[in-house]
Amino acid sequence: MISLQKGPRRFSGPIIKQGSISHHAKKSLGQNFLVDGNIARKIVDELQISNCETVLEIGPGKGALTRLLVNKNSHVIAVEKDEQLYNSLQEEFASVLQLDLINGDFIDYNFPFSNKMIKVVGNIPYNLTSAIVSKLVDFRSKINFALLMVQEEVADRLAAQPGTKAYGAISVRLQLTAQVKKLFAVPPTCFQPKPKVDSRIVKIVFRRREPLAEESKFVSFVKNAFGMRRKMLRHFVSHYYGKAAIEKLTENLQPKRIETLAPEDIYALFSILSEESHPDERIDRVK
């Protein structure tokens, strides 16, 4: 994997108590900086950090969360894509021992080679939420849980139930491996500049950390299936697997739509369709 990291750099010295960084938000990077101290403290409290834990912060920005994290006697890894912000953070936190500050894109970040589980936190750019969540799922074996600030609409998608409008491919992949819980809302007034939408804190606790069989193929399967979410399953199966594969579906399953199936049932459907099996081996374990 290509890494754009500059570092990591380990700092030494006393803990930072406060700071202020001047920086104009860049629309191209989806920057909306958290400026509400109460919300920042509430987020860090939700992490329930104990001594010597490792916390990975996605996009520290102007350091609203970072300043609190380094006071928790934890090892903090902060990945910042914006080089100007990285330089400002580097200057402000130049005396902090427990901070590794990295200049690079989190999507290209290589997780530490360690058996120690980490916690992830971040105010996520709205246009990159799906990519970032997919990255976390890919590296779930190293993550205790993630606490993300996302657009309210995105939070609905991540936690959506089958049969709802918000339920989609990202809902399936995430919920197959994790429990998703929506926490408190964060209004636009807590940011600078103010976004046009409400935000919400989402907690993602990974419970199934082992790799799924043919996981990359399953990701493509889910995307294709939800590309035909309004079609009955028999039409989707015929389109991607041929008409003969319809016989693998039970009669009650054929008229259903992918958007009505739970994540576990969608994975069961994928597993059977991917197997070299006889036409009379029907999918009878899908609800």
pLDDT at 2: 35
Whether the per-residue pLDDT at 26 is higher than 70: the answer is no
Mean pLDDT to the nearest integer, 190-207: 93
Mean pLDDT to the nearest integer, 6-29: 46
pTM greater than 0.95: no
pLDDT at 113: 75
pLDDT digits (tens, 9 = 90+) for 69-87: 999 888 999 999 989 999 9
**Gyration radius from the chain CA atoms:** 21
pLDDT at 8: 45
Domains and CATH numbers, the chain: 9-206 (3.40.50.150), 215-274 (1.10.8)
pLDDT at 206: 96
Return the axis-axis angle of helices 263-274 and 215-226, rounded to nearest 10°: 110
pLDDT at 97: 84
Residues 6+ apart with CB under 8 A from 235: 228
pLDDT at 112: 79
In the chain, pLDDT over 70 holds for what percent of residues?
A: 85
CA distances to 70, 120, 262 from 50, rounded to whole Å, are 12, 14, 35
pLDDT digits (tens, 9 = 90+) for 107-135: 999 887 777 899 999 998 878 888 999 99
Mean pLDDT to the nearest integer, 240-266: 93
